[in-house]
Amino acid sequence: MYKCQALSRCLLLVGCIITIFFMTCIFGCKSDNKEKKAEEISNQAIGIDEKSYKELEFLKLNFKYGLENNFAILRNAKVYYGNDTTKIFKILPLIKKNTLVFRFSGKICDRCIDMVIKEMQHVFPNYAKTNQIVLLGSELNPQVKDTFFGKKVLSYFKNETIGLAIEKDFVPFMFLTDNNGKVNQLFIVDAEHFDLTKQYLQSIKSTIQ
């Protein structure tokens, strides 16, 4: 008899736990939906369409990365040009004056990378020859590293970084730096909001010419 009572209590307890779990899920989902709905109503009330909202979120993300990385000093990482690992350089001595650095990985957003390089070629006619534009790439096909859109890519070894917090997120980004290695005007790139990348390159055009 006692065993039956204990079993009944256990089953009742399990039933209560399951009921609480499902109620939490239901009300949690309703709460999330309410928040999303409220956000949509708020955006509509102030006249923000979906495209503008996404653009705003992208700018907020850029602002966040800027706060985390601007004014940092680059780590003086060991780098090499193209595929020639017999000639190793430190990156900071290669930067003589205001320089645009484009840091990217071949594993992330090939389309973004190609679009950025082509726009650079358009904005900076001397793109291939100038030392004021540096391509810092990793995980690239060795066949393209010696002449990536007409320019050699700088690479560093697997365990090296340039010491920026953003590197851990594997997003393509650009920034300005000088011969002291200080990072300024960091900007992440995205194919969906490429007009903003065009604006960024135009805004820094006079700085590196």
Q: Where are the domains of the chain?
A: 2-47, 71-208
pTM of the model: 0.76
Q: For residue 23, what pLDDT is reported?
A: 46
Cβ contact 48:56 at 8 Å = yes
Banded pLDDT at 46 (limits 50, 70, 90): low
Cβ contact 130:124 at 8 Å = yes
Cβ contact 136:154 at 8 Å = yes
The CATH fold assigned to 71-208 is Glutaredoxin (3.40.30)
Cβ contact 118:110 at 8 Å = no
The values of phi and psi at residue 90, to 5°, are -90, 140
Instruction: Say how far apart CA 209 and CA 206 lie, in whole Å.
Output: 5
Banded pLDDT at 2 (limits 50, 70, 90): very low
Q: What 3-state class would DSSP assign to 94?
A: helix
* 47 pLDDT more than 80: no
Cβ contact 104:113 at 8 Å = yes
| CB contact set of 181 (below 8 Å; sequence gap of 6+) | 73, 74, 76, 92, 95
